[in-house]
Structure 1
Amino acid sequence: MDSEKIIRSAILLFFTLVTLSTKGQVYTIAEEDYENVSFTQEIHKDISKYVGVYTFGMSESETLLVINTHGNEVVAQIRSFEWIMDSNYKTNGYKHIFQTLSNVRIKNGRLISDELEGQFVNVKEKNFSGSALLTERVSYKEIVNLAFGFKSESLDDYYSGDYQFASYRLLSKEELMTYSKEELRIMRNEIFARYEYDFKSGGEMEKYFENQEWYNPNNKDVASLLTDFEIKNIKLIRSLE
């Protein structure tokens, strides 16, 4: 199965387009189903209020949706994972599966894209509360329910490496001028490494990232996974190296 088919399978497994409805609705939080959940819409004029990492599911079914903004620009990306099995069907580690959403925008408290839609809400329950994204997903029981993805970890915790900011916000020429040529090179390649890019064998970048405990090389081509922010940052960094 090629990488494109794997990505499609992962997205179909966890997300489908949503039409929000509350009548007779079953809601999923983590892997538990609830017939009634108290929540209100969360509408902000400043869309940066929605920036963050939203967690759906748990353990082996966990899927993360990260949202970043710059002015009116919005990028969103889904990350799940799959186990890697050897020829004897024994687990041999895991790899992340990324899907960068296209034509992303936020309007009236709703996330809209070609692949996924959802409503930003504030959940008010005793055992679980806080900001969340309510969208439709396929549960582990293969029943389609509306699911809450709770806003959780910070972006610095989500992204690995020494230059995490190069993946979640647009950089300026002025700030990049404060870094050395070698630092810029690491910063640029670190973006690819976060997508588990397999660098040239024996090359300098392979040697560098093999010493980073978070690095897990699995992909030969990650160009299609990059967000618009990352593409712009790579171009700018390269111009200054």
Structure 2
Amino acid sequence: MKTLLLLPLLFISSILLSQTMGMEEIEHQDISIWETTSVKDYGNVYHFGDSEWEYSLVIVVLNPNNIIAYKVQGHFNDNATAWIHDYEHLNDVKIEGSKFYSKEFNGEFATYKGKTKGLKMFDENESFTSKEYEFGYLSYTLKQYLKGKFPTASYIELDKSTLQQFDKFDLQIMRNEIFARYGYIFKKGGKMESYFTTQEWYSAEHKNVNSFLTTLEKRNIKLIQEVESTK
């Protein structure tokens, strides 16, 4: 009986201590530094973990001195009928060379077998179940990941001259898309609810998403509102 119990424990232990990407076990010697001449190349979405432990790390690089990063995880609602997304901001984010730093955890941008780009996150707080690091692969560009008609409002600093080219309705959609991407529940029967419920990517999940908004998104929302008021 002891032998039978020991085998599954050894199997579980080997999984926890190993690094995998999908079903493939990562060989440490095949990971190398991902070097680039532009820090903006690191601005992407990286996927970590599997199943209920999986999450995405979204990195927005406005310039070398202004970098935003947040984690996207999720949980089932009380009835286990729907998946609810959660968003957690990282603090004091910076990138120096190929190194990633934040108050929560640090890492280094890397490639696997010279072709799969990703981020090697170090186990600063012993949160990876005894693993030395966790490798997250580049799963999406920001343009692919951020849905809607105007996704750039969540990863580029907008300017008034560009916004003046849009009519008032498009500006309303642009502004409210920022909230919709976080699953904001719009007023029932309102114009925005009518619009977003027809969008395949939209999912109504949260009554309030203000704490999810990045500093960039707050800045862009304010600017869009200013231009809207002139239309």
TM class, shorter-chain normalised? 0.7 to 0.9
Does residue 119 of the first structure (1) align with residue 122 of the second (2)?
no
Q: Which structure carries more helix by proportion?
A: 2
Does residue 96 of the first structure (1) align with residue 85 of the second (2)?
yes
Question: In structure 2, what is the equivalent of residue 226 of structure 1?
Answer: 213
Query: Paired residue for 2:56, among 64, 80, 83?
Result: 64
Q: 1: CA distance between counterparts of 2:142 and 2:190?
A: 29
Q: How many pairs are equivalent?
A: 208
- When the two structures are superposed, what TM-score results if normalisation uses the length of structure 2? 0.81
Does residue 54 of the first structure (1) align with residue 46 of the second (2)?
yes
Counterparts of residues 77-96 of structure 1 (less than 5 Å): 77-86=70-79, 91-96=80-85
Gaps of 5+ in 2: 1-16
Q: Which has the higher contact order (CA 8 A, sep 6+)?
A: 1
> Is the contact made by 1:26 and 1:146 (CA closer than 8 Å) also made in structure 2?
no
> Is the contact made by 1:166 and 1:191 (CA closer than 8 Å) also made in structure 2?
yes
1:101 to partner: Cα distance: 1.5
Gaps of 5+ in 1: 1-24
> Is the contact made by 2:62 and 2:155 (CA closer than 8 Å) also made in structure 1?
no
Q: 2: CA distance between counterparts of 1:30 and 1:148?
A: 11
Percent identity for Structure 1 against Structure 2: 36
SS at match of 2:218: helix
SS at match of 1:153: strand
Paired amino acid for 1:132: G
Q: 2: CA distance between counterparts of 1:237 and 1:106?
A: 29
Question: In structure 1, what is the equivalent of residue 11 of structure 2?
Answer: none
Question: In structure 1, what is the equivalent of residue 4 of structure 2?
Answer: none
> Is the contact made by 1:56 and 1:148 (CA closer than 8 Å) also made in structure 2?
yes
Q: 2: CA distance between counterparts of 1:106 and 1:45?
A: 13
SS at match of 1:75: strand
1:50 to partner: Cα distance: 0.8
Query: Paired residue for 1:75, among 68, 77, 88?
Result: 68
> Is the contact made by 1:31 and 1:58 (CA closer than 8 Å) also made in structure 2?
no
1:133 to partner: Cα distance: 0.4
Query: Paired residue for 2:145, among 143, 148, 158?
Result: 158
Paired amino acid for 1:150: Y
Paired amino acid for 1:50: Y
Q: Which moved more, 1:163-172 or 1:207-216?
A: 207-216
Does residue 190 of the first structure (1) align with residue 177 of the second (2)?
yes
Question: In structure 2, what is the equivalent of residue 171 of structure 1?
Answer: 158
1:40 to partner: Cα distance: 1.9
> Is the contact made by 1:53 and 1:66 (CA closer than 8 Å) also made in structure 2?
yes
Deviations 1:108-159 (A, max 9, x none): 211111222111112227xxx42210014645xx444411111122222211
- When the two structures are superposed, what TM-score results if normalisation uses the length of structure 1? 0.78
